[in-house]
Amino acid sequence: MPAPKITRAVNHPAEGFHPVAVPGAPGRPVRVYLPTDYQPKYAYPLVVLFHAEGECEEHAARLVPQLSRRNYIVLCLRGSVKLGARSDGRPAFGWGDGAPDRGTKAALAFVMKHFSVHADRVFLVGVGEGSTAAYRLGLEMGDRVAGVVALNGRLPKGRVRANKLRVLIGHGTANPVVPVAEARRAATALTRAGATVRVTRYAASHRAHPDMLGDANRWIMAQVMGKLVSSGQ
C-alpha cells in the first residue's frame, strides 16, 4: 500500500504511526509516531530515532513501544546510505560517516513545523551506528537539542565541542561489535568538552536491550521535568 500524502497525517492527526514522505528528501520516507491520547494543542517532546546499521525506519519504529507509547512524538528516520537487501528481503540502510545530511535535517524541520512539538525538548536517540549519527547532529545543533542518547554506539572521532550537551550512554558489556571501552572513551571526551554525561552498562550484547530503552525514557523525562523547573513553568 502506498504511503498516504503528508496532508492526511497533518490535517487528521491520530495516535499511532504515520508514514510520511518529506519534501526535499526523495527516497527517505520516515515514520512519525503520535502518542496515546494525542492532543494536538499540547507541545510534546520529540524523540528522533536513528536505527542501527543494516536496518531501516521500520526497525526504529519497533523500539517505540519499549521507549514510551504516551510521552513523545517520535520521528523514525531512514539512513542515508543504501546497503542492499537484508536476508528477510527488507531494504537495509546505514549512516555512512554519520555526518548530518539534508534528508535528516529536512525530516526534523518538517515534523517540528507540522506536528505539535516543543522546540526546546528535542532528543536524539541512536542505536549502534545510529548513535554516531545522533552524536554528530547533536554536536552540530548544540543548545537546540535537549539531549542525546547513545545505545551501543561510538562517539565520532575528532575534536568534540559539546558545550553543555546532556548525554546518556547505554552499552552492553558483552557487545562484540563495539567494545564497552568505547563508552568510556566517549564519556571522557564529552565530559572534557563540557557535556553532562551519564553512563549505564548492561549485561547485554550489541542489540538495544529493553532495559536500555526503559532507562532512556526515564532519563529523557527527567530532563524534561528539569527544564520545566528551571524555566519556572
Contacts of 233 (CB under 8 A, 6+ apart): none
Domain, as residue range, for 109: 6-230
Query: How many structural domains are present in the chain?
Result: 1
Q: Is 227 exposed, middle or buried (0-12, 13-18, 19+ CB in 10 A)?
A: middle
Cβ-contact 216, 67 below 8 angstroms: yes
pLDDT of residue 14: 79
List pLDDT tens digits, range 157-169: 888 888 889 999 9
Report which residue type is found at 219.
Answer: W
Cβ-contact 178, 128 below 8 angstroms: yes
pLDDT of residue 228: 44
**Residue 201 belongs to a domain:** yes
pLDDT of residue 227: 54
pLDDT of residue 4: 40
pLDDT of residue 230: 37
Cell readout for 10 is: 497533518
**Residue 1 belongs to a domain:** no
pLDDT of residue 98: 66
**Residue 36 belongs to a domain:** yes
CATH number, domain of 39, equals 3.40.50.1820
**Sites in the chain below the pLDDT cut of 70:** 1-13, 98, 227-233
Sign of CA dihedral 215, 216, 220, 221: negative
**Residue 141 belongs to a domain:** yes
